[in-house]
Structures are given as C-alpha cells and as structure tokens.
C-alpha cells in the first residue's frame, strides 16, 4: 500500500514526543466502519490501484511516516522486493533482510500461558514517540467499560504501516487473546478502505516475541490465499469451518456487520482452550469471502478470522527461509535472505509451514474438542 503523503490529519500537525497523556485519541463510530465496496482491483498479478484512503488510513499513514522520518525504527523501510510464487496457492514472498537480522528476538518463555514479567521488555518501556494514537469507540459503544488500545509502531516493520494494537500497557496483561482488544483490532480492518489491511495475533510459542498483550496490524498490497480459500462446515449451523486450500488447515470463523462481536467471542473461547491446553496458536483477520465454495477472488463480503493450532516453538528457527507465524500461515512470506527469496518454491514453503503444525491425530482430537465449545 502507498501510505498517505505528509498530512496534518484530524489533530493538526502534532508530532507526539511528549508523555503518553498527550497522545491523541482516534474515536470512531458505526459510520466509520466500511462494510461494503472494499475489494481488490485488477487481476492481483501486480500492485492494485491504490484505493481511496479512509480517515483511519490517513491518520495511521501520516503518523507512521513521521515516525520513520524521525528515526524511531530499527531500519528505514523502502520498497520490498516482492514476488508471487508459481503455483495454485498464490503465496506472496517478500525480501526483508533487515527484519530478519534486526527484529527483537523472542523472550525466554516456556509456556503458552506464562505470566507477565515486568522485568522483561514490555510496552511500558517504549519511547513516547512510538505511540501514534489511542483507538477507542464513541462513548456508549464500549462493551465493558471504556475499551481502547494504543496504536504503536512496530520498530521492526514487516511492511509500511506495520503497527501494534496494545491494550493499556500498565495493566501488565500477558500474551493471551482477549475479546475487547480483538474486537477493536477487527473493527480496525473495517475502518480501513484498503483490502490489504490485516490484523493478527501470535501466541507465546507461536512466535510472539514479547509477553505483553498485543496484536499486529499491517498493509500488504496483494491478495492472500486465506481470503478466498474453500472450507467445509464443522457443525450443522456453520458456526465454525475447516479452512482448506491454503498453506495450512485452520479454523475459520466468518462475520458480516453486527455478527462481528459474536465471531470474536467464539474465536477467543477457542483460543482460551488452546492456551489452557498449552497449544500454541496464530490468528489472522482479513476481509474475505463467505465460507464454503467462495465467489471469485476480488469480491470480499465480510471478515474472516482464521485460527491455526500449531506445534509450540520457542526462539528463532535458525537457517529457515522464514519463521512461521500469523502472516506466513496466511500466505505472506517475509524472507530473510536474497538467496532464499530467489530459490523459494511453493512446495518448499508449504513444507516448512506444515512442519510447524500439529500431528494429524492430535489435530483431529482438537477439532472435536473445539466443536463441543461452540455456543
């Protein structure tokens, strides 16, 4: 995505470098949620025509660019070499050498449910300038209290516009998925006019690098397999589907309009079961087609939540072309070296991704357990 050019945005030419109390609020209501008409243009073989920017896109983009110019990132992100791997899946590989070398190494954890440790790096320690704004709903729309999150730059970005959604940091929440932060992050997908703004979550053991609750949001100007991959219902009411046809099988939940909150509750119930069972997991949230036999690519009509259960892995897998987390499971592969970028094939990428999944017998038992939890 081409981020917006320098602009004052809704708060004037403010450049946050002051205490967190001075951070502006981005307050939104139902009129800001774009539920229809956001779709990919063209065939998807090249970067699509940039769509009109929403108020959210303008606010995030202009603030993010200023932080890049102010030198708050670990590296200056330019245009990343990108190619779609030949094959039916349409996996998107990107060369991002700096992130591979300079991103924060995962903290020393040994449990998916490890308690928050204030002695390790956490988001109470970030520089004030890294906070772009607070994201919150209009008064009266909060599900429980005044739910809001900080939108913070990821200092080792995957792509331009890469941010973190961080619930109030002083609460010291561990990296366990909660309903209110996920709902705000999922609504951010609908606040964007760009079909390539996605949100996701990595659990501990699922390549989360910080044990302090946060979700990722970023732009990628390419369609991904999980937007239209076919699925089959796992219960008669179609509340949960098994995603097929993507890089890895996952549990698919779909929502349109007012159903978003219900889907979020189901996703969080499943994620809590996974965490209680010490099963690492990743979540990807994107605009996409309804479950089942989807319509042709380019016609997203709702929000897809894809939850993957996987083998727990702690630390970096040295020597791999990429580390398997939320974006890789969705079909976006940030590759660490030029050699791997040029030599990577769809078959080798899928093999690496599936090596991180649960054994088939364990996955089958888990599937039955999750279906029993549906409301």
Q: What is the pLDDT of residues 247-286, one digit of tens each?
A: 999 999 999 978 899 999 999 999 999 999 999 999 999 9
User: Is residue 17 domain-resident?
Assistant: no
d(CA 127, CA 124): 9
Query: Helix H segments across 143-217?
Result: 179-191
Confidence at 139, pLDDT banded by 50, 70, 90: confident
Is the model's pLDDT at 16 over the cut of 70? no
Per the model's pLDDT, the better-predicted residue between 39 and 239 turns out to be 239
Residue 270 Rama label (left phi>0; alpha psi -120 to 50; beta): alpha
How are strands ordered across the β-sheet holding 25-28? 25-28, 131-137, 148-153, 163-167, 215-219, 197-202, 280-288, 302-310, 250-255, 241-243, 231-233
User: Is residue 88 domain-resident?
Assistant: yes
- Res 104: pLDDT: 63
Q: Which of 281, 268, 278 is nearest to 308 (CA)?
A: 281
Confidence at 101, pLDDT banded by 50, 70, 90: low
Confidence at 102, pLDDT banded by 50, 70, 90: low
Element (H, E) at 102: helix 97-102
User: Is residue 8 domain-resident?
Assistant: no
**pTM given for the model:** 0.90
User: Is residue 92 domain-resident?
Assistant: yes
How are strands ordered across the β-sheet holding 92-95? 82-84, 92-95, 332-335
Nearest-5° angle of CA 189, CA 191, CA 193? 85
CATH code of the domain containing 108: 3.30.428.70
User: Is residue 317 domain-resident?
Assistant: yes
User: Is residue 57 domain-resident?
Assistant: no
In the set 194, 214, 281, 332, the catalytic residue is 214
CA R_g for the chain: 19
User: Is residue 38 domain-resident?
Assistant: no
- Res 338: pLDDT: 94
Average pLDDT over residues 182-194: 96
282 alpha carbon, distance to own chain's centre: 9
Domain that holds residue 253: 78-372
Per-residue tokens: 5: 């050019």
User: Is 214 part of the annotated catalytic residue set?
Assistant: yes
- The average confidence (pLDDT) of the chain is 87
Average pLDDT over residues 219-237: 94
d(CA 38, CA 189): 11
- 181, burial (CB in 10 Å: exposed 0-12, middle 13-18, buried 19+): buried
d(CA 150, CA 134): 4
Total tally of structural domains belonging to the chain: 1
User: Is residue 27 domain-resident?
Assistant: no
Q: Which of 326, 324, 325, 327 is nearest to 348 (CA)?
A: 324
């Amino acid at each position: 995505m081409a981020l917006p050019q320098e602009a004052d945005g809704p708060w004037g030419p403010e450049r946050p470098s002051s205490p967190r109390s001075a951070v502006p609020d981005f307050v939104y209501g139902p009129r800001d949620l774009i539920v229809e008409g956001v779709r990919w243009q063209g065939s998807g073989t090249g970067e699509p025509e940039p769509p009109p920017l929403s108020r959210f896109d303008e606010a995030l983009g202009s603030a993010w660019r200023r932080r890049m110019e102010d030198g708050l990132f670990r590296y200056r992100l330019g245009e990343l070499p990108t190619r779609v791997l030949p094959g039916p899946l349409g996996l998107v590989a990107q060369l991002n050498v700096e992130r591979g070398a300079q991103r924060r190494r995962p903290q020393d954890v040994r449990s998916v449910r490890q308690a928050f440790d204030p002695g390790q790096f956490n988001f109470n320690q970030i520089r004030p300038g890294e906070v772009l704004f607070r994201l919150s709903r209009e008064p009266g729309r909060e599900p429980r209290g005044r739910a809001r999150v900080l939108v913070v730059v990821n200092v080792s970005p995957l792509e331009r516009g890469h941010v973190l959604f961080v619930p109030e940091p002083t609460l010291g929440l561990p990296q366990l998925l909660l309903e209110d932060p996920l709902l705000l992050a999922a609504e951010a997908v609908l606040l964007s006019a760009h079909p390539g703004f996605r949100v996701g979550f990595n659990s501990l053991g699922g390549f989360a690098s910080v044990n302090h609750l946060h979700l990722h949001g970023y732009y990628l100007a390419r369609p991904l397999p999980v937007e239209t991959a076919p699925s089959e219902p796992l219960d008669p009411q179609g509340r949960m589907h098994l995603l097929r046809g993507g890089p890895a099988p996952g549990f698919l939940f779909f929502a349109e309009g007012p159903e978003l909150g219900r889907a979020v509750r189901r996703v969080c119930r499943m994620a809590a079961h996974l965490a209680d069972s010490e099963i690492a997991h990743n979540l990807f949230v994107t605009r996409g087609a309804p479950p089942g036999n989807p319509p042709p690519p380019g016609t997203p009509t709702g929000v897809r939540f894809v939850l993957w259960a996987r083998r727990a892995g702690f630390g970096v897998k040295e020597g791999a072309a990429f580390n398997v987390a939320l974006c890789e499971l969705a079909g976006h592969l940030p590759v660490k070296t030029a050699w791997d970028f040029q030599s990577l094939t769809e078959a080798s990428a899928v093999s690496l991704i599936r090596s991180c999944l649960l054994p088939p017998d364990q996955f089958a038992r888990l599937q039955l357990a999750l279906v029993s939890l549906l409301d």
